[in-house]
Amino acid sequence: MKYSYLGKSGLKVSQLCLGTMNFGPETEEKDAFRIMDAALDAGINFFDTANVYGGQERRGWTEEIIGRWFKQGGGRREKVVLATKVYGDMFDEHDGPNSGAGLSAYKIRRHLDGSLKRLQTDHIELYQMHHVDRNVSWDELWGAFENAIGQGKIDYIGSSNFAGWHIAAAQAQAKARNFLGLVSEQHLYNLLERTPELEVLPASQELGLGVIPWSPLAGGLLGRNALAKSGVRSARSAKLEQNRSKLEQFSALCKELGEHEDQVALAWVLANPAVTAPIIGPRTIQQFEDSLRVTEIELDEDTLKKLDEIFPGPGRPAPEAYAW
């Protein structure tokens, strides 16, 4: 396994991040334990979760599973760079009128303590804002996070689903407070969704954030069996039909390369210098093991050019992508 610094921080993380969203609703606890043990064995030290993971009726379930895995000991907690998120509604009756999604200092304090309890740990290495909250000032946000860092509950702050200008504003306000600010941005990025190349990736590089792409396989559309699963009518199948020509060309290119589609799609994301680690979200141990080859794949310039032809992005960052 290869490792990179997380943004401008001195923290080293594996170039693959284990996503745990399926743990609980899709993956039984014993299988989740097997996947997490296999991740450590493979050198993956970066695990991502969120307080809301577990499904609509059981939010927090995924964090609880990870907490029970940590409780087994054997250095599991010490070996993991743990990332979780705050923003969503946990349906906690004690929140009263302060329930709902958001990032108030109240919510950050209460929901951080909730995550720590479920995860059975006293600290979180990377605490991420799951979305931007336009109703909260940066003075309130940075004040809340400074307090949590001062208490030893978290080490670093990350964002998720922020626009480029949100990142710029966050870092400017952090600098004014002599505070480190954001070290990462978790963002939707894959061959079918290249909009972040306009603003988010350049802003992150310029301002010292490592990008952690979520859904690097576009919800499975860039997976090895995507074209074989087009019979069932769903929103996913409709999107597959919209992109069928591109996906067929992509599949043919992968066959030429002798690699599976999911592995090439992940390798393409990882090849971007703005990216620290794409999130892999396996449901099974086999899916996890299939992902490990990614860090060994080197895509040459000719292959990257062909992928640009199949999945054209904006071409250049803003404003040159649409102006002079």
Number of domains in the chain: 1
Say if 152 falls within a structural domain. yes
What is the pLDDT, as a whole number, of residue 229?
66
Looking at the DSSP bridge assignments, the partners of residue 117 are none
Residues 6+ apart with CB under 8 A from 54: 24, 25, 60, 61, 62, 63, 64
Is the link from the previous residue into 314 a cis peptide, with omega within 30 of 0? Answer: no
Looking at the DSSP bridge assignments, the partners of residue 129 are 86, 159
Q: Which helix (H) or strand (E) holds 124?
A: strand 124-129
What are the φ/ψ torsions at residue 265 (nearest 5 degrees)?
-60, -40
Say if 323 falls within a structural domain. no
Say if 28 falls within a structural domain. yes
Distance from C-alpha of 130 to C-alpha of 128, rounded to nearest angstrom: 6
Q: Is 156 a catalytic residue?
A: no
Say if 184 falls within a structural domain. yes
Cα–Cα nearest to 288, from 25, 33, 39:
39
Distance from C-alpha of 234 to C-alpha of 227, rounded to nearest angstrom: 14
CB 85, CB 47: distance < 8 Å? no
Considering only the C-alpha atoms of the chain, give the largest distance between any 2 of them, rounded to a whole number of Å.
58
Distance from C-alpha of 260 to C-alpha of 266, rounded to nearest angstrom: 10
What is the pLDDT, as a whole number, of residue 186?
98
Say if 251 falls within a structural domain. yes
Regarding beta strands 210-214 and 279-280, do their DSSP bridges make them parallel or antiparallel, or are they unpaired?
unpaired
10-residue mean pLDDT series, the chain (324 residues): 96 98 97 98 98 94 98 98 97 89 96 98 98 97 98 98 98 98 98 98 98 97 84 74 96 97 98 97 96 94 98 96 95
Q: What is the DSSP string of 149-215?
A: HHTTSEEEEEEES--HHHHHHHHHHHHHTT---EEEEEEE-BTTB-GGGTTHHHHHHHHTPEEEEE-
Distance from C-alpha of 324 to C-alpha of 53, rounded to nearest angstrom: 43
**Residue 193 belongs to what domain range?**
3-310
Say if 318 falls within a structural domain. no
> Which listed residue (53, 87, 127, 156) is catalytic?
53
Other residues' Cβ atoms within 10 Å of the Cβ of residue 294:
23
Matching residue, tokens 């963002």: 187
**CATH classification of the domain holding 299:** 3.20.20.100
Say if 239 falls within a structural domain. yes
Say if 317 falls within a structural domain. no
Dihedral in degrees, nearest 10, Cα atoms 215, 307, 200, 175: 100
